[in-house]
Amino acid sequence: MTSLTYVAHISRRIIKYGGVGLGGLVAIWWIGGLMVKAYLAAHPPYIPPTVRFGILPKIVFPDKKFERKEFSLELPNDSFPKFKDQTKVYVIYRSKSVIGELEEAKKTAALMGFRKEPTEIKTGIYEFADSLTNRTLTMNVLSGNFNLSYPYLADQLLLNPDEMPDKTGAVSVAKSFLQQAGKMYPDLEEGENKISYWKIAFGELKETSGLNDANLIRVDFFRKKLDGDQEIVTDNLSKASVTILVSGSSLAAKKIVEVEYKYINVDVSAPSTYPIKTPEAAYEDLKMGYYWPAKDSEAKSTVIRKVTLAYFEPVTPAQFLQPVYVFGGDGGFTAYVPAVTDKWVQ
């Protein structure tokens, strides 16, 4: 019995301290795992650019004559911002079938109130007319871009509107139009909306300071930033690629008097990464005149005060959405410098 008691005593001690030891090992393993994850999060393994799309075509900017300037730097903390050595490049989807897209364009036009057969004015570009409301819709059926216009400058009734909407009301009217037409995509829905006030004066449209003097409100729909912080910039800094003019008319057909809709279908699901220049190298390109001025100034020298990385929305048919460095300086000067390294651009 004594031996059995002794064995039982030893067994209980083994179980007790073995459990404590096993628990300690589990705790050490768990804490070690957390430390490894924290280290990898702070020091992720380097993954080289995938460059799956091969050599990229050069970004095509609109033709614009400008004189090369002298540049100097006055950046925050007296240093360039830090960027990774690579960034994403996205594919732009464009249809190649005019016939198939024409039928879809007719459906979209019908949603906007244009039900008559269109007239082809150029290859792939069709004009829809609505004689009842005196509106015209011009659509590129391959890209889906369109312009809707009403001769609002000649409509005297719009000079003294029934009731001008406030900011919230104007945005709501504009969004409802895009939703009805099936053109309100998630990145437009989640992007920033800006409004500006406009007045019809002597047959021209002029911007005014506030709602009291306005008889039209323009709503600009900016796309949601890519990866949370990178804007999609355009060739026109003063407006978005999707803009809608809203009036104060009580007539439904006159609430929307103009729409400019340019939207590229970017495939954000399968980008590829490409090596990019350092901001210092991009600044050297700027100094050598290898840039495109989105907004120029008359000054012969400009102080650069801000450098960001963004994407340029192409103005001509393109296959890829590519990154650019945006240099901002005095007098509103803004310039774009292609960001992908020269080795990977044809």
In this predicted model, which residue has the larger pLDDT, 75 or 43? 75
What confidence tens digit (pLDDT) does each residue in 249-279 have? Answer: 999 999 999 999 999 999 999 999 999 999 9
Res 47: pLDDT: 92
What confidence tens digit (pLDDT) does each residue in 212-251 have? Answer: 999 999 999 999 999 888 999 999 988 999 999 999 999 9
Q: Alpha-carbon distance 141 to 145, whole Å?
A: 7
In the chain, the N- to C-terminal Cα span, in Å, equals 91
What confidence tens digit (pLDDT) does each residue in 97-147 have? Answer: 677 789 999 999 999 999 999 999 999 999 999 999 999 999 999 889 999
Question: Contact 109/139 with Cβ under 8 angstroms?
Answer: yes
| CA quadruple 299, 301, 306, 307: dihedral sign | positive
Q: Alpha-carbon distance 320 to 267, whole Å?
A: 10
Residues written for the chain: 346
What confidence tens digit (pLDDT) does each residue in 35-45 have? Answer: 767 666 666 78
What confidence tens digit (pLDDT) does each residue in 138-193 have? Answer: 999 988 999 999 999 999 999 988 889 999 999 999 999 999 999 999 999 999 99
Q: Is 48 helix (H, G, I), strand (E, B) or coil?
A: coil
Work out the pLDDT band at 282, boundaries 50, 70, 90: very high
In this structure, the dihedral spanned by the alpha carbons of residues 177, 258, 140 and 261, taken in order and rounded to 10 degrees, is -60
Res 16: pLDDT: 60
**Number of CB atoms found within 10 A of residue 192's CB:** 13
In this predicted model, which residue has the larger pLDDT, 67 or 28? 67
Res 43: pLDDT: 66
Instruction: Output DSSP code: residue 99.
Output: H
| CA quadruple 41, 47, 49, 50: dihedral sign | negative
- For 303: left if phi > 0, alpha if psi spans -120 to 50, otherwise beta; the answer is beta
Query: Distances from the Cα of 191 to the Cαs of 60, 229, 232, 238, in angstroms?
Result: 25, 12, 11, 16
32 pLDDT more than 80: no
Q: Domain 70-92+268-344 maps to which CATH number in 1.10.510, 2.60.40, 2.40.50, 2.40.128? A: 2.40.128
Q: Alpha-carbon distance 119 to 129, whole Å?
A: 9
Res 18: pLDDT: 61
Boundaries of every domain in the chain:
1-45, 70-92+268-344, 144-263
